[in-house]
Amino acid sequence: MARTDPGASDTKVSSAPKTSKASKTSKDDLASLAGLEAGLDALETRTAERVSLGSVLLSKLVPPLVAVVLVITVWQLAAASDLKPDYVLPGPLDVWRSIQDMWLDGTLLGYIWTSVSRGALGFVVAVAIGTPLGLLVARVKVVRAAIGPILSGLQSLPSVAWVPAAIIWFGLTDATIYAVVLLGAVPSIANGLVAGVDQIPPLYLRAGRTIGATGINGIRHVLLPAALPGYLAGLKQGWAFSWRSLMAAELIASSPDLGTGLGQLMENFRTYSDMSGVLATIILILIVGIGIDLLFFSPLERRVLRSRGLLVRS
């Protein structure tokens, strides 16, 4: 009778559970990978879905319209309750008539264009000055130590404080208005670029130097693209400061030789105690500021976010 080797039998018996356990682990791993793949596919499918026009209008257009309606309703109720005399607190219809009168007179677009053209030109010049200044402060330690605190102080200084000095320096001329605009916008643009450069990972700069991107090429292809989010924030703030500075300059430095912008228009209405005209001008200033942001800065910001994978195109 053949004898059976006990060791061999034990080996066969003990190897069976190991094979079963390995097979079970492999199946679990495959199931996990399949679940992960399915989840990624679902995520890609969800981000690729197109949003209907009705959904976009409901989420983007309806909320601000509701807010505007609520403000106008509260305003009308306050005017109708006679909290103040009509010449102090006119109703929305009175303000609308003031805007309508300027439109019918053919002067409304001229007032708006005078201010917008000044603000745009001043902002472009501010970008041309603030960008190299910001790069210089961000990359040269001695310059940062000397100028950095001054830029921060100028940014916190109200723009209207420059108007009396600018009038003494340049008189009642366009130079006064542009000087106030530049002094208000340049520090914001420069500080925004400095903040953007400070947030660049050092690895990007070393990689740029490795491939030969130094000097102007390094600034153009590495530094500015990497600092773009902070730079864009500085540009938006710079435009806001430009617009505010322009209104302050037009409001104080008023002269027939300068033409009539929105700031001087508001001062003219104030002179005649026309509160409807004052409120109408304030609304026009607000609409122009919001319009510039929606037409220029918001699309630019969305484009930058999409290029960095931070916003999904729907």
For residue 197, the surrounding DSSP H or E stretch is: helix 174-198
Which alpha helices (H) appear in 90-161, and where do they start and end? 92-105, 108-139, 141-156
Global pTM? 0.74
Instruction: Please say whether the beta carbons of 260 and 268 come within 8 A.
Output: yes
- Residue-wise pLDDT tens digits, 239-266: 998 998 899 888 888 777 788 889 899 9
Our CA dihedral for 201, 206, 211, 215, rounded to 10 degrees, sits at 90
Q: For residue 162, give the nearest of 269, 241, 234, 258 by alpha carbon.
A: 241
Which single residue is written with the structure tokens 């500021």? Answer: 289
The span from the CA of 177 to the CA of 260, in Å, is 13
Render each residue's pLDDT in the chain as its tens digit; 314 residues: 444 444 444 444 444 444 444 444 445 544 554 454 545 444 444 444 565 666 666 667 777 788 888 988 888 888 888 777 778 888 889 899 999 999 998 889 999 999 999 999 999 999 999 999 988 888 888 888 888 888 888 888 888 888 889 999 888 888 899 999 999 899 999 988 888 888 877 777 777 777 766 667 767 767 777 778 788 888 888 899 899 889 988 888 877 778 888 989 998 899 888 899 999 999 999 999 888 888 888 888 788 777 766 665 55
